[in-house]
Structures are given as structure tokens and as C-alpha cells.
Amino acid sequence: MAEQRHVSIPKPFASGDAGEWFKRFEICCKANAWDEKAKVLKLPTLLEGEALATWMELSEDEQGDYGAAKQKMIERMVPVSQGTRSPTNFRNTLLVEGQWG
């Protein structure tokens, strides 16, 4: 089989429906024949804004485990269309200095 030269990746993800974006990411991972190690290495390179901030809040262990990282990010990132964050996510939200006022 010839060496693969084209790499499929989804558009970078900043905010919105993390579950939907991860479905797209995993379609690309399958097309690229990436294993779990490759997924976890490539994932943060495709994150921006809120999604990257959420990634940076994960523990080192979670960042090294694709399944755990995916689960935590989906739990913490709620699409705007859902209106509110879960009580756990709300409790974990920190105000940034100067954010209110």
C-alpha cells in the first residue's frame, strides 16, 4: 500500500457542541489511521479559545488519556443553545480578574 500523504483534520474547535466536533475529529482519526496516542497528541493542536482553555485545565493524566480528555471536555463545554451550564460546570467556573466591571 502506498504511503498516505493527505491528512484529514476537522476545522479547529473553539466553542460550541464538543460532542459533535469530537465525532468529526474521530472520523478524521479513522481516515488517518491514528491510534489513541496519536489522537491525544494531535487533539490540542486543533483547539482554540474556550476549548483550548478547557484542555489546559485538564490534569496531566487526563491530557495523556484520549478517552478521559474527550469525556471531560464534553462535560465541561456546553453549547450556547443549551442555555446553561451544568451545576458541576458552573461550580468549576472561575471569574477572571476584570471580567465583571
CA distance 64 to 38: 10
Whether the pLDDT of residue 31 is over 80: the answer is: yes
Cβ pair 58, 72 in contact under 8 A: yes
Helix or strand holding residue 30 (H, E): helix 18-32
* Cell 469525556, residue located: 71
Q: State the pTM of this model.
A: 0.73
Confidence of residue 78 (pLDDT cuts 50, 70, 90): confident
The more confident residue out of 97 and 28 is 28
pLDDT at 5 over 90: no
Q: What is the largest CA-CA distance in the chain?
A: 60
